[in-house]
Amino acid sequence: MLDGGTAGQATTATRTQGRGARIVLTAPLTETIDHAGYFIQMSMASLPMWLEGILNKKYPRWREVEYNTDGSARYMPAGVRVLEASLLRHYPAEDIACCYPADLEKFIGPDTRIVAVSTHNPLGVTFAAGVYTSIFGSSKMPINSHYSRDLFAKVKGSPYRENFKVIVGGSGGWQIIQTDTYEELSVDCVVEGRSESVDTLALFRKAIEGEELPRRVEVKHPMDREGILFPDTRTTFGVVEMTTGCGRRCKFCVPDLNPQIDLPKDKIMDAVRANVRNGNKQISLATEDMFIWGQVHTDTPFYFPNREALVDLYSDIVNTPGVEQHVLSHSTIAPAVVDTIPDLPSSAQPEPEPVASRGPADARP
């Protein structure tokens, strides 16, 4: 069903009986849309609001989203989905609702205690976004920022605002901290770090009990593969995590502060199938550098990719029935170049290592 079907609205009312879900999860529309590939979201991050007409003309249906039968969102950014999976370990499913910003008033009610917002780039002050927007003229409001502010305004204007706490997380949370826009956006607390953390769950417990929250909380990142959760629902663009961390240690880089972990193939494949089951034709493995997968915590240097393991993983994904596109995320060039050199001097070759110490799906001789 596309764009706010009425059947969905009716069942929503039954589900929450007009009292709202205890925990409502959402994200800006322009970070959630699953339309026209990565390019549209990247444009929305970087084009000023006054150029929105160009995208409206090229993609007249970009605002159309799909619904579950209970009126909740069919897809959400991966960060929301992992948060949802994390909360489901402690709260019953009927307490949690993921919805698009336009439907917030259907899911927020007198029983709502938390509205959790996940955001990638709410104020458009990250690299590239702010720079490109200002090239286009005096308006510095990127399209994505306009829609993020619109979401926060809806939450702020809720007649039940006194009853619930607003918790923000995701890779763009720092923008609210650094611009001190808590009051303006009506945000109680910004969480920096992953939702799987016990600290995040402790914070949610506090919020449900109506306790005061700190403005900013830094939570610990899981240290091993078992600590990372995989949702079995649909994510925007079929984003499935492949690695965390990078390991190159650029001093300014936030993702690199995370431990370097490559995630197990069987869990990646389960998440791919969950996306397909829920109607996605597109998958994208999220990573800081796809070439480190299959060789993390081995003696192999960064720039020697585990080619066989990578080909095995990507082949299985693109050959999964229902997957029509795979969008590549981040990578570095050096490993691809190294992999094309037939006879490296022996000093540049990594020492062979025992197969048992290697990463997942190792097929390298």
* Contacting residues toward ligand B12, per CB under 6 A: 30-31, 38, 41-42, 44-46, 77-79, 82-83, 116, 118, 120-121, 126, 128-129, 144, 167-172, 191, 194-196, 200, 236-237, 239, 241, 255, 286, 288, 329-330
**Closer to ligand SF4 by Cβ: residue 13 or 253:** 253
Q: From the list ligand SF4, ligand B12, none, which binds 256 (C-beta under 5 to 8 Å, kind-based)?
A: ligand SF4
Strands 261-262, 243-244: pairing is: antiparallel
**Closer to ligand B12 by Cβ: residue 22 or 364:** 22
Q: Is 341 exposed, middle or buried (0-12, 13-18, 19+ CB in 10 A)?
A: exposed
Q: From the list ligand B12, ligand SF4, none, which binds 329 (C-beta under 5 to 8 Å, kind-based)?
A: ligand B12
Answer yes or no whether residue 333 interacts with ligand SF4 by CB under 6 A. Answer: no
Smallest gap from residue 261 Cβ to ligand B12 (A) = 11
Residue from 192, 256, 308, 339 touching ligand SF4 (CB under 6 A): that is 256
Answer yes or no whether residue 288 interacts with ligand SF4 by CB under 6 A. Answer: yes
Q: Is 181 exposed, middle or buried (0-12, 13-18, 19+ CB in 10 A)?
A: middle
Answer yes or no whether residue 93 interacts with ligand SF4 by CB under 6 A. Answer: no
The DSSP line for 131-147 is HHHHHT-S---BHHHHH
Cα-to-chain-centroid distance, residue 336: 27
* Sheet strands (E) in 204-337: 216-218, 239-241, 243-244, 261-262, 282-286, 325-326
- Residue type at 229 in one-letter notation: L
Contact predicate 20/155, CB 8 Å: no
> How many angstroms separate the CA atoms of 42 and 191, rounded?
24
How many helical (H) and strand (E) elements, i.e. helices and strands, does the chain have?
Answer: 14, 11
Q: State the distance between the two ends of the chain, measured CA to CA, in whole angstroms.
A: 49
Answer yes or no whether residue 246 interacts with ligand SF4 by CB under 6 A. Answer: yes
Interface with ligand SF4 (CB under 6 A), residue total: 8
**Closer to ligand SF4 by Cβ: residue 256 or 308:** 256
What the block records as the tokens of 270 is: 């389960």
Contact segment (CB under 6 A) with ligand SF4 among 124-132, 144-152, 242-250, 338-346 equals: 242-250
Answer yes or no whether residue 248 interacts with ligand SF4 by CB under 6 A. Answer: yes
- What share of residues in the chain are helix, strand, coil (percent, to 5)? 40, 15, 45
Q: Reduced to 3 states, what is the DSSP secondary structure of residue 116?
A: strand
Answer yes or no whether residue 331 interacts with ligand SF4 by CB under 6 A. Answer: no
Q: From the list ligand B12, ligand SF4, none, which binds 120 (C-beta under 5 to 8 Å, kind-based)?
A: ligand B12
Q: From the list ligand SF4, ligand B12, none, which binds 250 (C-beta under 5 to 8 Å, kind-based)?
A: ligand SF4
User: For ligand SF4, what does the binding mask look like between residues 131 and 170, x meaning CB under 6 A?
Assistant: ----------------------------------------
**Closer to ligand SF4 by Cβ: residue 131 or 253:** 253
Q: From the list ligand B12, ligand SF4, none, which binds 248 (C-beta under 5 to 8 Å, kind-based)?
A: ligand SF4
Q: From the list ligand SF4, ligand B12, none, which binds 292 (C-beta under 5 to 8 Å, kind-based)?
A: none
Q: Residue 104's closest CA among 51, 174, 161, 48?
A: 161
Element (H, E) at 201: helix 198-208
Q: Residue 71's closest CA among 112, 29, 106?
A: 106
Q: Which residues bind ligand SF4 (CB under 6 A)?
A: 246, 248-250, 253, 255-256, 288
